[in-house]
Amino acid sequence: MGYGDAVDGGTLTRAHAAELDRADPLGGFRDRFEHGDGDRIYVDGNSLGRLSHDARAALQATVDEWGSRLVTGWHDWVDLAERTGDALGAAALGAGAGQALACDSTTVNLYKLAGAALAARDGAIVVPADDFPTDRYVLEGLAAAHGRELRLLEGDPVAPLGRDAVAAAAEGAALVVLSHVNYRSGTLADMAAITPAVQAAGALVLWDLCHSAGAVDVNLDAAGADLAVGCTYKYLNAGPGAPAFLYVAERHQAALRSPIQGWFSQADQFAMGPRYEPVAGVGRFLAGTPPVLGLAAVIAGAEMLAEARIGAVRAKAAALTTLVVDLHDQRLEALGFSLGTPRAAADRGAHVSLRHPDAWRICRALIEHANVIPDFRRPDSIRFGLPPLYTRYVDVWDAVDRLASLVEDGVHERMPAEAARVT
């Protein structure tokens, strides 16, 4: 039974949500995660995913291996970044083997790939003006270092990126950097349509997959993508500070060279030679020692996603976010809320932005007085992130119900107006 089968056009009730949970083909995955306080509703998995039992077991097994094998473990760990990248490619990225690595942070990987692209091509850098701050900051620094123009692509963050507008901005550019899912609004870009349009304009396109990998279909190879980066601590549940990933299409690997020349990308690594010669293939974008413990959790997340299958995950993400949209219309709009996310499920990822002039105080009140954990993004957005593997439909209904009741009672008006450092 799908979402539409449980809704008869009348008032949405908790019973509708409970019926959807009973029919949910992914429902069994929830029990494989830690939940802590049974009354707490967690709708911030787009910032940090829950701890899975699989990840805990993988981490413990790796700790035990470290304890017993010590340095001899490197015979098996030395190529862990490549093996983990291949696992992510198959489960989450739509990428064939030999094109992805799990390594470093998203910021460092963005710097490496963008720097390599600029070293290989002349022209400007294009990025949306509302893109995630790290992306804009890294590109601003690279533009200054390389003497390039930085073009900020203006637009409505709730509206999907227009292929023609992006292609026009890409004329005379070396590199266009785009988020697959907008971090604030949850808007999903049409990768398959935008990628060839940018390439036809003469630029490489680098996709930021932080808010899409593990939640929506990502088909890098099928879209003809050039480059991509992303994180694993959101929908892949690999833990805070978990290693990120990068993707370089096979056709570009020989021509691009990382600006960070580390010994893990050296062709004859243990020769300890006097000169740097990068290894052939995607491994040339490695730098330092792989974080073995962190990669164990990434593999656990990739394996769980492969078991669930991304198509089923995407379908549930669409249904969960649709329920939020419908409940917004039913309960929240009359309380001064508006949607900061597209209404069409095909145009959004796995989170919904609920806008309100007093969003910061409402968000704090939700956490401190209603035991609901979302997050806040300036200036006025409360984000509900809904990872399909452990979020129930009744969680969505209860979270919106608590939110509406809290605002109706004015509980948020007692909260301090000044935002904290971590929002």
How do the domains of the chain map onto residue ranges? 3-32+309-414, 55-307
Please say whether the beta carbons of 386 and 45 come within 8 A. yes
Options 132, 247, 285, 384, the catalytic residue: 132
Options 54, 104, 130, 208, the catalytic residue: 208
Percent of the chain with pLDDT over 90: 91
> What integer pLDDT is reported at residue 4 of this predicted model?
46
Residue 7's pLDDT band (cuts 50, 70, 90): very low
User: Has domain 3-32+309-414 been given CATH number 2.60.40.10?
Assistant: no
Does residue 233 have an active-site annotation? Answer: yes
Q: What is the mean pLDDT of residues 399-421?
A: 90
Residue 36's pLDDT band (cuts 50, 70, 90): confident
Instruction: List, for residues 37-73, the tens digit of each pLDDT value.
Output: 778 999 999 999 999 999 999 999 999 999 999 999 9
Range 202-241 burial, b when 16+ CB lie within 10 A, else e:
ebbbbbbbbbbbbbbbbebbebebbbbbbbbbbbbbbbee
**Token pair recorded at residue 218:** 């990502």
CA pair distance 202, 173, nearest whole angstrom: 7
Does residue 132 have an active-site annotation? Answer: yes
> What integer pLDDT is reported at residue 416 of this predicted model?
85
| Most distant pair of Cα atoms in the chain: their distance | 73
Does residue 208 have an active-site annotation? Answer: yes
Q: Do domains 3-32+309-414 and 55-307 have the same CATH topology?
A: no
Please say whether the beta carbons of 86 and 179 come within 8 A. no
Q: What is the mean pLDDT of residues 224-253?
A: 98
The CATH T-level fold of domain 55-307 is Aspartate Aminotransferase; domain 2 (3.40.640)
Half-sphere exposure of 378 (CA within 13 A, CB side): 10
CA pair distance 260, 115, nearest whole angstrom: 9
Tokens 């006097």, residue located = 274
Residue 182's pLDDT band (cuts 50, 70, 90): very high
**Token pair recorded at residue 282:** 């995607």
Instruction: List, for residues 86-109, the tens digit of each pLDDT value.
Output: 999 999 999 999 999 999 999 999
CA pair distance 203, 166, nearest whole angstrom: 11
Does residue 183 have an active-site annotation? Answer: no
> What integer pLDDT is reported at residue 9 of this predicted model?
53
- Strand partners for 376: 382
Options 29, 33, 42, 233, the catalytic residue: 233
Does residue 316 have an active-site annotation? Answer: no
Options 135, 383, 393, 398, the catalytic residue: 383
Please say whether the beta carbons of 207 and 105 come within 8 A. no
Q: What is the mean pLDDT of residues 320-331?
A: 98
Instruction: List, for residues 118-174, the tens digit of each pLDDT value.
Output: 999 999 999 999 999 999 999 999 999 999 999 999 988 899 999 999 999 999 999
Options 234, 331, 355, 377, the catalytic residue: 234
